[in-house]
Amino acid sequence: MNIFVCISNVPDTTTRIKYKPGNKEVDYTGVQWIINPWDELALTRAIELKEANQAAIQKITVITVGKADAEPTLRKALAIGADDAIRVDVAPEDAYTTAVQLAEVLKSEKDALILSGVESSDFNSWSVGGMLAELLDAPSVSAVSSLNIEAGNVVVTREIEGGKQTITTTIPSVLIVQKGIAIIPRIPSMRGIMTARTKPLKVVQGIASQPMVKVLDYQAPAQKSSCRMIDPENIEELIDLLHREARVI
């Protein structure tokens, strides 16, 4: 079995997002790019599984839809421990076009367990994994919080209302993973960083695809009020503010 981890290249989660004039496009000037945190956890779990099941898992491939500027993010995934990488040379437009491009590459992979983070931390559409499974006509399991290989079977635990559900799934399938799949994202070792540059990073051309979403307008959320320090000896002021300003008591 091969594991494919879909990687979204997203702005660092501490980035202050700005928009270009007209508020129809994000201004990415000066942005630091990272692996989408959910995808990073998925990759971490894939590596843990491969380390523990050398016989069952042959290879971990990371795949992204993006232009050349997404390559440092793929290199980091290789440094963390993926065996090879694929970049579909298309600027991602919406969840659907991303899923179409991924499906085109992955449709020939029959012995594949495909992992997709539940959402990306930039556009949060929660859609790519489900669309990808549909386009591949493969089973999909959502809200996966635990993944194991037991006696050659893929055993998955998912969060459901009021509890957890454990199921097995066939191959190929798409697992849409959330927090819990791994606890701490793996930090690349020096050796991993040095070998990343020699690992294969294949660039494939995309296919024609029309987005289904048209952005009309972006709006920044209202600015959070800043932290206010109250002198510990001034409890009355704290009570007054909680009552009068925050209106919580």
Binding site for another protein (CB under 8 A): 72, 75-76, 79, 184-185, 187-191, 193-194, 196-197, 226-229
Distance between CA atoms of residues 197 and 85, nearest Å = 11
Q: Is the Cβ of residue 12 or residue 25 nearer to another protein in the bound state? A: 12
Minimum distance of another protein from residue 189's CB (angstroms): 5
Q: Is the Cβ of residue 34 or residue 149 nearer to another protein in the bound state? A: 34
Amino acid at 175: L
Minimum distance of another protein from residue 245's CB (angstroms): 13
Distance between CA atoms of residues 242 and 197, nearest Å = 55
Q: Is the Cβ of residue 63 or residue 78 nearer to another protein in the bound state? A: 78
Minimum distance of another protein from residue 194's CB (angstroms): 6
**Extended beta strands in 71-131, E state:** 84-88, 112-117
For residue 175, give both structure tokens.
């697992």
CA atoms within 13 A on the CB side of 82: 29
Q: Give the chain's length.
A: 249
Which single residue is written with the structure tokens 């040095």?
A: 194
Q: Is the Cβ of residue 227 or residue 248 nearer to another protein in the bound state? A: 227
Minimum distance of another protein from residue 60's CB (angstroms): 18
Q: Is the Cβ of residue 1 or residue 193 nearer to another protein in the bound state? A: 193
Minimum distance of another protein from residue 147's CB (angstroms): 22
Distance between CA atoms of residues 82 and 199, nearest Å = 9
**Extended beta strands in the chain, E state:** 2-6, 9-11, 18-19, 26-27, 33-35, 59-65, 84-88, 112-117, 140-150, 153-160, 163-169, 173-177, 201-204
Minimum distance of another protein from residue 228's CB (angstroms): 6
Q: Is the Cβ of residue 50 or residue 158 nearer to another protein in the bound state? A: 50
